[in-house]
Structure 1
Amino acid sequence: MAKSKPATGTTANRGGAARSSEAPRPIEEERALDTKEARQERKQRVLTQGQPALVGNIADAVTVKSLNLFYVIAPDGQLPVKGDHGFGLYLNDCRFLSGYEIRIADAAPLPLATSAEQGYRALFELTNPDLHLDEGKLVPKEKLGVRWERVLDAEQTTVHERMTLRNFGEEAYELPVTLLFHAGFEDIFNVRELLKGAPGKSAAPDWRDGRLQFVYHGADGLRRTVTIQFSPAPHAMKECAATFRINVPPRSSETIAVSIILGEEAEKAAGKRPMVQQFTGVDDLAVGLREDSENWTRQHTKLQSDSLLLNSVVDRSLRDLGTLRSQLADRLYIAAGVPWFVALFGRDSLIVALEMLAFQPNIATETLRLLASYQGRSVDRWRDEQPGKILHELRVGELAHVGEIPHTPFYGTVDATPLFLLLLGRLADWTGDLALFDELRDPVERALTWIAEYGDISGNGYVEYQSESEKGLVNQGWKDSGDAIVRADGNLATPPIALVEVQGYVFAAKHAIARLFERAGEHERAVRLRSEADALKARFNRDFWCEEQGTFALALEAHGRQAAVVSSNPGQALWTGIADENKAHRSVARLMKDDMFNGWGVRTLSTAERRYNPVGYHLGTVWPHDNALLAAGFRRYGEDEAALRVFTAIMEAAMHYRHHRLPEAMAGFPREDFQVPVRYPVACHPQAWAAGAVPFLVSTCLGLEPHGFVDQLRIERPLLPDFVDRIRLCGLRVGRGTADLEFRRTSEGTDVVVHAAHGGLKVDVVR
């Protein structure tokens, strides 16, 4: 697919966003904007909220995306013109179009079915209520069909739409069809209601030559536009509405084509790029997009099984990751999730790359190179930047450009840096190649230095975090909402905070990088890193273990006090191998009790804790990616039954979601209460590390252990969950070779058949 370019007349900033060199803000405004108190106040509002967005429920939203252009649509195909909601047409952290409604004879059509299976294309089937036309004529309900197709063209930043009105009746109808629009040009942080007020100015809507245009003059010097053109031309044009008179013969159909063109360019260059396009056939455009999607899936290890559900979920996972591909300048990356997190994230990008190593190791290669290019170089308290630190989040919208938020990029994450090192080591296990390690040697050294010098705030040997914000607690682990890290008494933990799973990440990262130093001939460095990791493990098992709870504490807060609540975080620590054997087994037993395991997976927080909330973002919800990492931890310590139970639960949850797409999170209500997973109201879908969860569960339960440097694949204690009897993997890459493998259930366990092994790859099965 062709890639978009920076807008004409702009310069690309380090984040790849178009930033104008024209019309700087007055110095008085800059000084007022940049006062320490004002900046910290804004940062507190943005980074301490308890959920990702404060808008209404989007659990049933239909989402489609192509590169940086994405659409979030209500189930009836509409974008409400009034009210606070998250629906809209978005580009580069801005919601350009926030309202879009269709009325037939002043009535809204009724939804019948929706689909967005292909990721870049949405289809809505609607019908009519009773319609009262002129002269008392009635169109009885369900006599009309409205087929509404939308296809995204990221190269032209355009949505091409086709509304087909079909008359299933026996007489002709002349129908007044009105399309109503609203363009607010809100920054994503305004849409999420984390900040109030847009700093720029909107012009009045304008009709020219049958086209409707909205214009916004951003405070960042960018002119953003929405141009809407129609075929046929509207019969009436008024303010933000286009009205057509459509004559539909019996058993026939008529079509309205709509193109919505988004523009973003420097003010001085405005008007040079025509906001007019030839109408593109929806079907022709979809053919090219479909081929791009198929090319993406063909690049991955192919999975086939006798379970239609597993085949469908894995296929959906791969396609969702393809949908989440986004663009930063001329580089592609996988965004964290639609709609709130279509941006480059450190932790999310690294974890999904880890999840996908068995299916597509190139994701890891691209992710490591991109994140290394943004690695922290200096101390910047506003952005929480420190030398060697890997970024948390990069934004390219108006509020980022004018300094209202610190995401330029923002480095407020404690775990991305060790995860960066861990991914590099795990990737080398699969590829058997030191080339990327050699290429990234300087970023590796800086990351290790950050862990030793900046990460250990208290000097106690643990990697901790403490926000520079004096007015609010900002959490910087994967549970990064402001109320996520709590004590048993229900109060928030006091920083500096050392999270349980982060210590595991550091432990595993040092061992992974030590192996690479060993391969590179630097034996003393490898020995030193292993010694540091082993010393960390000894301290960890002493200081984090909570005998009363029978598992590890969520965190150590100020003065080494335990945040002694039962949470899912220790399960991720097990994944890294930092736990002593007996403590690991007891932790698994504790995590699988009913107050933690709700039937769809392990909750983020026990129902017995004072802060438990089944719809709290990190206070009792169930996250697919979290459960995938937990299952890997269970397997690491031989707790196979628990791992398979988690795998089965996540798969059964996927059955209840449209297209078998796992969302970011599910509510924590017990399975027996409703027999279906309760949707978390503002969960992202698709979401990257949720999409990677099932592929990772597959590779975990099949026992895939790569040793790429010696061209060997070890398959350790292969398991199949109860819902599948056969899995075949084709084109699995390890070292210089590939393998085609089949796993079959037998009366004695799981047999492994090597159908093919190329490139000198050896496959050994260990039971």
Structure 2
Amino acid sequence: MLAKRHPAMVDSIAGAITVKSLDLYYVVASDAQIPLKGEHGFGLYFHDCRFLGGYRMALAGLAPIVLASTAQKGYAALFELTNPDLHFEREETIPKDELGIRWERILDARQRCVREVLTIQNFGYQTHGFPLSMQFRAGFEDIFDVRGLVRQDLGRPQRPAWREGRLYFVYHGADRLRRTATIAFSPQPDATHETTAEFRIDCPAGETRTIAVTIELNECSEEAEANHLNQQPTLALGNLAGNLQAGSEEWLEQHTKFDSDSLLLNGIVERSLRDLAMLRSDLGSREYFAAGVPWFVALFGRDSLIVALEMLAFQPEIAAQTLRLLASYQGHRTDRWREEQPGKILHELRVGELAGAGNVPHARFYGTVDATPLFLLLLGRYAAWTGDIGLFRELREPVERALGWIARAGDDHGEGYLKYRSTSESGLVNQGWKDSPDAIVRTDGGIARPPIALVEVQGYVFAAKHAIADLYERVGERERARQLRGEAERLRTRFNRDFWCEDQGIFALALEARRRPLGVVSSNPGQALWTGIADKDKGRRSVRRLMRDDMFSGWGVRTLSAAERRYNPVGYHLGTVWPHDNALLAAGCRRYGEDDAALRIFTAIAEAAMHFRHHRLPEAMAGFPRKDFQVPVHYPVACHPQAWVAGAVPFLVTTCLGLEPDAFAGRLRIARPRLPDFVNRITLHGLRVGKASADLEFRRTADGAEVNIQQTRGQLSVEVGG
């Protein structure tokens, strides 16, 4: 049983340099290398397969020294390296730092290739000659194998071969696909053996020498003709870089423009938007945000829905594409192995060898309890921002099937809660966003017994039914709208009775078998507050409990209280701090009038971002207290970039500015706008509500923020409330 989504059982990749273009991505160490041995997650990946799992460049047998590295643009990486002391048999030496090595890498996903250029400059006063070698390893490992979740050798690799100065790796997969990695060089190597290319570099003082490398990946059916290297190495990457840059900027131009007087916040928002540009992937003609690099470059129902929801104020179009895409994969039958059920929304779609060969169910896997209500909730929130009722009409059948699944799922005793119990031996024990096997625990440290009704999932259902009821009413089906609202309100009544833990002053993490509440203090109730399901007094008391020191680490709210038996500051869901969780939790604070708590979370998350490369927040941070280390502690194998984390700060902006759209009425309400302490001014340009837009400026005041409506375009009224 896979039984977990824990990212990996491999060494830390906290300092990795990551580049991605559509479904092609590269994860390397800061010195541009991929270790040839060991359990690690570095490599060159495509379609859930690590084609290249080792890549070592050496100068006279020694690794270069890294000076600087960056992948800020997302699709390209740049490394500045130098030489260690190099000693040769004839008593010649090349002193340390006398050679400059500039290593450029650009991904070209449309051509399924990586283009690299190494430029070696001699900064010394005499000619230097030395050997440079490049060694490769191509294992064609499935992503589940790399993560340590499945250990199966299914396919058949061919022996690597050199032909005409090119290195060929070929793998015949159990899914009847042939995968190839072909590496070409310019100039061609002076010598080759096994999987190593050797060059003799002779570089006069002050001059440069260049090596270009192209790595092309291919996969096709075994019956198809072999299509060996089409790409020729090139010494100039400028045109390709320019085209990729133009495409990235064009996508960013579609967004609401953000500016503030805080360099920190500007940097975080820009990083967020560029990371989301990087995480775009497509299936057919529809775009979605892949969940995260390197482990989750795939369509994930929950993740893709949440990040689309987070980004509605900045870029609503991808929400519509995500909804259509997930509707096309909606469950139609009962399949226990895939956990598919009629009406259920997909959890995960994988295209690697193990999925294609049927060894794991993830070619179409439905092991999630929350994607279905989130699908409905996103549809309702998307309509509020865009005024697009046509998408609801188009998706009426999937909507009804989803509502039908929610009515049936896990509710054996008619309690009215959405529950889960895994039916697949290859599935997930836990099926909410905290889906590691030890995530849902009792106060005594024991593991919860299914069926399990998670606190936040009931909130998702509540908010989804209200959101969809509004759409039914808008198309004239008032009785269906009344029915859904009635179901939601009855759920609210039961929820506040059954989930409330008076002794803790917060809602339970979940109800386990026999409707027993799990009275541990966790972050999950914060997401329930975001949906509005809690009674007002219980909501406010929950916020106060969440902000105590055992929950609030100084960098955000922990997933589990430090006072709980199972607390672990580096447990995946047992004490870490997740930025996306905190963004939704902050929205819950705002909903219940606890604005100071929301701003405290916003500030903590932003200050944490200062300590990560390029202000890129990771998937999760360790839960150690801020007072102990003064810097956030890396979670060793966190995804970065990760989609719903990239959407977290844009969503915090939307939340704290109090943006409440009603596109059908041509109205934007701004409720109790607030700015965090480190910001005095925020400007939004081109904020779209329906077919209209507005330019807005927010300025800090003693008791909140004043709003300057600079310009509106189209039919839009902007109303500012207290």
TM-score (norm 1): 0.93
User: What's 1:230 paired with?
Assistant: 185
Q: In structure 1, what is the Cα distance between the partners aligned to 2:576 and 2:412? A: 30
Deviations, residues 581-617 of structure 1 (Å, cap 9, x unaligned): 1111110011000010000000000011111111111
Matched, 1:290 2:245: yes
User: What's 2:294 paired with?
Assistant: 339
1:387 to 337, 342, 350: 342
Q: Gapped runs of 5+ residues in structure 1?
A: 1-43
Cα deviation, residue 472, structure 1 = 8.7
User: What's 1:85 paired with?
Assistant: 40
Q: In structure 2, what is the Cα distance between the partners aligned to 1:458 and 1:101? A: 60
State the identity %. 68
2:695 to 733, 740, 757: 740
Is the contact made by 1:712 and 1:735 (CA closer than 8 Å) also made in structure 2? no
Matched, 1:753 2:670: no
Q: In structure 1, what is the Cα distance between the partners aligned to 2:26 and 2:591? A: 41
Is the contact made by 1:458 and 1:496 (CA closer than 8 Å) also made in structure 2? no
User: What's 2:719 paired with?
Assistant: 764
**Higher mean Cα deviation, 491-500 or 197-206?**
197-206
User: What's 1:72 paired with?
Assistant: 27
Q: In structure 2, what is the Cα distance between the partners aligned to 1:388 and 1:749? A: 44
2:556 to 575, 597, 601: 601
Is the contact made by 2:675 and 2:700 (CA closer than 8 Å) also made in structure 1? yes
User: What's 1:163 paired with?
Assistant: 118
User: What's 2:283 paired with?
Assistant: 328
Is the contact made by 1:223 and 1:270 (CA closer than 8 Å) also made in structure 2? no
Matched, 1:124 2:42: no
Is the contact made by 1:710 and 1:735 (CA closer than 8 Å) also made in structure 2? no
Q: In structure 2, what is the Cα distance between the partners aligned to 1:96 and 1:397? A: 11
Aligned length: 721
Instruction: Give the secondary-structure state (helix, strand or coil) at the position aligned to 2:223.
Output: helix
Q: In 2 relative to 1, CA 457–75 (structure 1 residues): closer, same or farther, beyond 3 Å?
A: farther
Deviations, residues 640-699 of structure 1 (Å, cap 9, x unaligned): 000000000000000111111111111101111111110111100110000000000000
User: What's 2:508 paired with?
Assistant: 553
Q: What pairs up with 1:356-371 in 2 under 5 angstroms?
A: 356-371=311-326
Cα deviation, residue 334, structure 1 = 1.1
Cα deviation, residue 274, structure 1 = 3.1
Is the contact made by 2:53 and 2:137 (CA closer than 8 Å) also made in structure 1? yes
Q: In structure 2, what is the Cα distance between the partners aligned to 1:326 and 1:350? A: 14
Is the contact made by 1:414 and 1:455 (CA closer than 8 Å) also made in structure 2? no
User: What's 1:415 paired with?
Assistant: 370
- Amino acid in structure 1 at the alignment position of 2:394: E
User: What's 2:134 paired with?
Assistant: 179
Q: What pairs up with 1:21-170 in 2 under 5 angstroms?
A: 44=1, 46-48=2-4, 51-170=6-125
Q: In structure 2, what is the Cα distance between the partners aligned to 1:285 and 1:736? A: 35
Deviations, residues 68-119 of structure 1 (Å, cap 9, x unaligned): 0000001111001111110000000000000000110111001111100000
1:621 to 569, 576, 581: 576
RMSD: 1.1
Matched, 1:667 2:622: yes
User: What's 2:172 paired with?
Assistant: 217
Instruction: Give the secondary-structure state (helix, strand or coil) at the position aligned to 1:285.
Output: helix
Q: What pairs up with 1:585-664 in 2 under 5 angstroms?
A: 585-664=540-619
Q: In structure 1, what is the Cα distance between the partners aligned to 2:8 and 2:474? A: 46
Matched, 1:429 2:384: yes
Cα deviation, residue 134, structure 1 = 3.8
User: What's 1:25 paired with?
Assistant: none
Matched, 1:500 2:450: no
1:540 to 466, 472, 495: 495
Is the contact made by 1:457 and 1:465 (CA closer than 8 Å) also made in structure 2? no
Cα deviation, residue 60, structure 1 = 0.4
Q: In structure 1, what is the Cα distance between the partners aligned to 2:350 and 2:671? A: 42
Q: What pairs up with 1:182-581 in 2 under 5 angstroms?
A: 182-271=137-226, 273-280=227-234, 281-469=236-424, 474-581=429-536
Cα deviation, residue 249, structure 1 = 1.1
- Amino acid in structure 2 at the alignment position of 1:275: L
Q: In structure 1, what is the Cα distance between the partners aligned to 2:228 and 2:565? A: 59
Is the contact made by 1:474 and 1:481 (CA closer than 8 Å) also made in structure 2? yes
Cα deviation, residue 749, structure 1 = 3.0
Q: In structure 2, what is the Cα distance between the partners aligned to 1:532 and 1:746? A: 42
Cα deviation, residue 198, structure 1 = 2.2
Cα deviation, residue 436, structure 1 = 0.4
Is the contact made by 1:386 and 1:454 (CA closer than 8 Å) also made in structure 2? no
Q: In structure 2, what is the Cα distance between the partners aligned to 1:483 and 1:472? A: 14
Cα deviation, residue 330, structure 1 = 3.6
Is the contact made by 2:430 and 2:436 (CA closer than 8 Å) also made in structure 1? yes
Q: In structure 2, what is the Cα distance between the partners aligned to 1:470 and 1:134? A: 60
- Amino acid in structure 1 at the alignment position of 2:577: V
- Amino acid in structure 1 at the alignment position of 2:28: I
Q: In structure 2, what is the Cα distance between the partners aligned to 1:558 and 1:496? A: 5
Matched, 1:700 2:655: yes
- Amino acid in structure 2 at the alignment position of 1:167: N
Cα deviation, residue 748, structure 1 = 4.6
Q: In structure 2, what is the Cα distance between the partners aligned to 1:159 and 1:757? A: 45
Q: In structure 2, what is the Cα distance between the partners aligned to 1:653 and 1:594? A: 17
Instruction: Give the secondary-structure state (helix, strand or coil) at the position aligned to 2:181.
Output: strand
Deviations, residues 562-586 of structure 1 (Å, cap 9, x unaligned): 1110000000000000001111111
Deviations, residues 479-502 of structure 1 (Å, cap 9, x unaligned): 011110000010100000000000
